[in-house]
Amino acid sequence: FQPCQPCCDGSGRYARPGRHVPLVWKPVPSVCCAMPTSSHAAGDLPAGNHGTVSTLLVDHHDSYVYNLYDMLTQLNGVVPTLLQAPDLPREPAALSELLEGFDAVVLSPGPGTPLRDEDIGGTLKLIKAAAAMAMPLLGICLGHQALAFALGAEVRRCPQGPVHGRRTYVTLEAGTANDALFKGVPHRFLATRYHSLGVHLTPGMEDGVEALAWSDLDGELMALRVRSVPHYGLQFHPESVGTGVGWRLIQNFRDLAVASRGPRRRSVVTGLGVNLASRVPLSFPAPLATETSAASSPFALEPRLRCVLSELQGLADIGSEALFQAILGKDDDSYLPYRPVFWLDSSSGLMPGFTGRFSFLGGGKLLDGDDTWCLLRFDAVARCVSAEGPGARDTLTRLVPGSTICGEGVLRCSLPAHVSFFEALEGEMESLRRRMLPEPGPAEEAPFDFLTGAVGFFGYGLGFTEPLCGGHGSADCALGDVATGEDAVWLLSARAVAVDHVLGKVWAIDRREASTRVETGSPAWAAKLRADVLASPSVKLGDSAASVAAAQGTELHELLAKEGPQAYRENVARCLTEILDGNSYELCLTTEWRSAPGLRVQEPLDAVYRRLRRLSPSPYALFFAWKRDAALLGSSPERFLTVSSDGEASTRPIKGTRPRGDTPEDDKRLAEDLQTCEKDLAENLMILDLVRNDLAQVAEPGTVVVRRSAKGLPAVVESYAVHQLVATAVAKLRPEVTPLKAAGALFPPGSMTGAPKLRSMEILHRLEGRPRGAYAGASGYISAGRRALDLCVNIRTLVVDSGEVRLGTGGAVIALSDVHDEAEEMAVKSRAPRQALGGADMASSRPTWTVNGKEPSALLETMLWNAEEGGSIFLGRRHHDRMRRSALELGFPAPPPLKDWEAAARAKSDGAEKLRLRLCLGRDGRVSFSATVLPASLGAVVDAARRPRVIIDRLPAMRSGDGLLRHKTTLRSVYDGARRRNGCCELAPPSHGTPQIDGEWATWALEGLSRSGGGSEEAPFDVVLFNERLEVCETSIANIAIEGVGGPNMPLLTPPLSSGLLGGTLREQLLEEGFLTESVITVADLAAAAAAGRRILCMNSVRGAYEVQLVGLSQQDSGSGPISRL
């Protein structure tokens, strides 16, 4: 995307401290200083004829460094030399000799801190050597912090917390616009930031260092210049797609390097003992020329091949499910063949607007007569490739030339550690492509690239074990802990069926030896296949019968979470600590669901899949069964990598999720919220920058492009079973990079790791404590007829092995994440796959939440109905959303629509102006309504003398990690106990009383009046609850807020949900309107506010917002209360 710049349009909104507000994304007018688009090469920028600029690019283990590499290549006219920071020499003489070969130095971003040698390597000494030579140097993010630290500045945590993936405004100091680096840059611009640490210039540094720019969001230093030498630091990321002035800044640095250099420096550095090519863009052997003679080919004696397409007339209308049943070779759901079978299912026939045009089916009955098919399995720890099927021996011979093949039935051989399985499998595909004869006619003109080849998956663990992959070489992960023993499974076959959902055509694809006779070749096989399909009972019954059979199910298959909600939230909190420490920008945390011990899937797996595809249709859905009881059943919406036959690579990362709404209005509102939520936009932007970096390793320079929507947005909402925020990046692969080698370079998917990739993978493996297996890897096809592949990310995928089911699910954790929201998002993503295993009943496959072994029997909502407001419930939509979220997470049925709530209130009003409406939703789905007439004066302002009196609890009754505190349920003992413990008054209900639910006391009061159990009017009205960290949470009946030290004109401060509290609907509304802002409030903060006379407010949706007075402070200050304990 091209972000709007103030020089073009000054109307952009930005987030002020403590608030998350929607960002404005707009297309950039042509006059804006933004990065070049696909139609503008770097040379289109005003540059002049400066020749090439030789740059040393120092990499601090970052996953955005190749974005810088690509920019420098385009602007400098020559590729930079990329060197990892730990590989830098430490001796001054060696550093000086190294630098003599360059015109400039760029220090990359990276995780960690310049205070740790393992993070910064030899960079600090390199800075001193560059200063001694007056060589231009640009430090970015961690490089900026290293430069400042080397000069004597402090590097410390940002006071307002990490800023990762967020676009904030940067303002230049007066006069900075005249600086060489900021020439032509607007005085105020948007930039993307990725840092949890910041630079603080210590007193006395101003003589040697000049501050050039500051952040409008939090006042952090964003740019500096060393006065004596051309050394600059940028805290923001100029290479991010969200920093519109990035290209201008790097161009200016290039010009500065040209102006600063003297005689041409030596271009070759020798004799240093340094591996300068330690991380050059991935290089591969050049592909074999197409004119290679048969005599020179290592497979010269193997027959030539021909791929033939035959349209199967009359099959387009029978339906995908019935066609799949016929290809399986069975007439009912009682038998799944041992032979592998696949269905790459776009599901485009189920819902309009999907991107999937083609579905591909194969294996099963199509393997009859195919004497070349082979099933490959790879054990990454043992480096063992096993193969079975009639083509097993020939395939292994080509896959691992010179290896010893052993075994009978299932053949095995070893793959050398230095050879990636991706490369080995690509070698087999390339051997087939070299033998393929060009075929005029349908095969040559086929609208799809899959002209037979391989279908299967790569497991996530290959990212650690295989050369060229993102986590390869990690010292923190033992191979036995990251791999499963079945880390890749691929079916190689010569036949498939393609379904074109747009044109309504079905094709048979057959790869045969070119010498095959016509009467036994492809046309004859296609005719027989068509006849067999039409005669199949499944086809005669059609899709409707197949759907009914799949929907019936045989039994509920329960999945149990590996870790409960509390443990998952604790892992989210650990991720936030790693982010706060600067070790990662984003961590894609996952957990796993498994079959109950001893439980195996009894019904046929294809029936489970057909149920899944109807519950969660997706453009990258698949069914791949390689054994009777082993399969992938996926409904993935995310593309990992597509490589077309013309060499264009495309990836579509997904980050940001919302559930679907109950009504079209709800659905639209949720989608719009996702499109504008700063947290989700930051998640998506971080991964988008990461996949751009990965593509730049294998792409032609300057060809990595982000495709934007018509509105100029970097990511758009796509809606399947859930709403998703999707971005798209494309690139042109270098000629020597084959599809599978590109896939290996991008693997594992960045959307499943976080950024930086390697450091994030290590952290996640430590936290999760298990191999992910096929989950979070990639699956799809590799074409033998064309140099192409199409792989999706294995999410929303059931993995079945020996009948046992595993389901991985999770989400991205960033600095803006909330531990409870992350747990809720994880539950939302797991819903459809779990439901597919249990038919229509979800309850028993949900996690169980208890307090002291007691499970909540009902969900509650207490609301205000007002006849004067058209007979509506005050904040009714927020109440309904809260109960719906609780029902999803706690395993309750969905609540009735909001209109039913309001209808019940009207029926019970009997002419009253105001009602207190109570809704109770039981686990069995039963709903009860009760209503109490309220006086019209409820919520009126009372004078200071009659303000309700509140007291601070004597004990820390709340727990910050207790997820049940975020749900309004019948488990109210923590609140009842606090009221009794502190002698609070009884809340006065109307004289005619109100029904009680599980002992819950009424959550309202009338006009601030109360009566105590013993008749004392001095009894406190309410009690303030706090957690184990002495952080204020809420009162027993309301949320709480205090006036900050900034005075009455600033938003009031209210505790965040992470302290452990119920998010009230009125609190949510006031936060959104800007009257409140979240901030941790300690017990001491609350007491100080009361002592200083600052306002203390309580609020709930029935009573409204009302001021209270804090009492009992003298006793607490004398040593018996929580303030003294603090």
State the catalytic residues.
141, 237, 239
**Two tokens at 112?**
């960690």
Kindly calculate the radius of gyration of the chain based on its CA atoms and give it in whole angstroms: 32
- The C-alpha atoms of residue 903 and residue 883 are separated, in whole angstroms, by 18
- What would the DSSP string read from start to end of 839-872? TT--GGGSPP--BTTBPP-EEEEEEEEEGGGTSE
140: which residues sit within 8 A by CB, 6+ positions away? 68, 106, 107, 108, 109, 233, 234, 237, 238, 239
Which is it for strands 1022-1026 and 949-952: parallel, antiparallel or unpaired? Answer: parallel
Question: What secondary structure, in 3-state letters, does 793-811 show?
Answer: ECCCEEEEECCEEEEEEEE
First to last CA, the chain: 50
Helix (H, G, I), strand (E, B) or coil at 78: coil
The CA distance from 810 to 621, in Å, is: 19
Contact 470, 747 (CB under 8 A): yes
Phi and psi (nearest 5°) for 758? Answer: -60, -50
Beta bridge partners of 1026: 1032
Exposure b/e, 475-502, CB count within 10 A at least 16 = b = eebeeeebbbbbbbbbbbbbbbbbbbbe
C-alpha 582/C-alpha 911 separation (Å) is 60
Q: How do strand 639-643 and strand 705-707 relate by DSSP bridges? A: unpaired
Cα–Cα distance, 456 to 625 (Å, whole number): 9
d(CA 638, CA 652): 6
How do strand 341-345 and strand 358-363 relate by DSSP bridges? antiparallel
Alpha carbons 164 and 258: distance in angstroms, whole number:
33
Return the amino acid letter for 584: S
Neighbouring C-beta atoms of residue 1105, cutoff 10 Å: 18
Tokens for 46?
């005003």
- Both tokens of residue 534? 């039409």
- The first and second tokens of residue 1027, run together, are 């957690």
In the structure encoding, which two tokens stand for residue 91, read together? 């001796």
Following DSSP, what letter does each residue of 229-255 receive, concatenated?
SSEEEESS-TTSTT-TTHHHHHHHHHH
